[in-house]
Structure 1
Amino acid sequence: MLTPLATLPYRHVLTLPTEPSAVRIARETAELTLNGWGIGLQHPSIDPALLILSELVTNSIRHAAAHSPQVTVIYGAGRDRLVLAVHDTHPYRPPLDGTVASTRAGGGLATVMELVLGLGGTAVVRADVMVGGKSIWITLPL
């Protein structure tokens, strides 16, 4: 079950242009933000979380840039949960189940799902009816 973002004591939102530098900036921002929240980068969930974040932002840049001039990254954390979300305004919502591995573009999402499930986390794609597009929400235990 996903942790509602509003119930998490720590939240941060970052909006970037959908260009390659966004991956590095999103990752560096995650590292700084997590440190600021007292979540050590040596925690076993953090390296996989940073890889997941990098894959999701890369996918938005590769596949959504024509429809989405910006990508928004949402970071959240509580005592026992880390939440990451990546939003773009492209209408396509990729499946986050076993079918992602069988699609040509699914390599990155297959890796994301393997990491999420390996850590005991959850992943969901949510449509955004207000501004269009979708968000991919990842919740990982801390």
Structure 2
Amino acid sequence: MSSATAALPHRHVLTVPTLPAAVRVVRETAEMTFAEWGIAADHPALGPALLILSELVTNSVRHAADTSPSLTVTFAAGDDTLAFAVHDRHPHHPGVLAAATAGGGLAVIAEVMTAAGGTCVVRRDADGGGKSVWITLPLQPAKATP
């Protein structure tokens, strides 16, 4: 995690079994957590955040369940930044999500993240047996340049 993400004052961590029901549980937890932090349901970053989060959790459920019985989602936010990560113990590292060759859910994540002005970092666990996919989205609309 970057020092900028570590400095975000709001933080919530959720661990769930790597099962299909995790997608709903994580999405509902995200909505409640973000609302508690003052990020309204109609905030322009919320839709993209929930879509990306749902895709990341779905990918963990589909591809990591055999090696990762649970997944962990970390939510963080500050005045102008919303960040979240999905961690599982599957060793596959998806690489940079914005790659033009991304397919399926990764392509959706890359497209939505880019359109929302976000960034993505994939970090391997120290032992190489898992990874975290961190997404950061701006909470304030980007200022137009004259």
Counterpart AA for 1:54: S
Are 2:94 and 1:69 equivalent residues in the alignment? no
Are 2:108 and 1:108 equivalent residues in the alignment? no
**Bigger Rg over Cα:** 2
Q: Please, which of 103, 116, 120 is the counterpart of residue 119 of structure 1?
A: 116
For residue 136 of structure 1, report the CA deviation from its aligned partner.
Answer: 0.5
User: SS in structure 2 opposite 1:129?
Assistant: coil
Counterpart Cα distance in 1 of 2:24 and 2:70: 15
CA RMSD of superposed structures (Å): 1.3
- Aligned position for 2:144: none
Unaligned 5+ runs, structure 2 = 140-146
Are 2:39 and 1:39 equivalent residues in the alignment? yes
TM-score by length of 1: 0.91
Counterpart AA for 1:44: P
Alignment deviations for residues 101-129 of structure 1 (CA, whole Å, 9 cap, x no partner): xxxxx310100000111111101111011
Q: Which of structure 1's runs of 4+ aligned residues deviate more than 6 A?
A: none
User: SS in structure 2 opposite 1:19?
Assistant: coil
Unaligned 5+ runs, structure 1 = 101-105
Higher helix share: 1
For residue 98 of structure 1, report the CA deviation from its aligned partner.
Answer: 1.5
Counterpart AA for 2:100: G
Counterpart Cα distance in 1 of 2:3 and 2:20: 30
* Count of residues in correspondence between the two structures: 136
Are 2:53 and 1:53 equivalent residues in the alignment? yes
For residue 130 of structure 1, report the CA deviation from its aligned partner.
Answer: 5.3
For residue 3 of structure 1, report the CA deviation from its aligned partner.
Answer: 6.0
Flag the 1:65–1:32 CA change in 2: closer, same or farther, 3 A.
same
Flag the 1:3–1:24 CA change in 2: closer, same or farther, 3 A.
farther
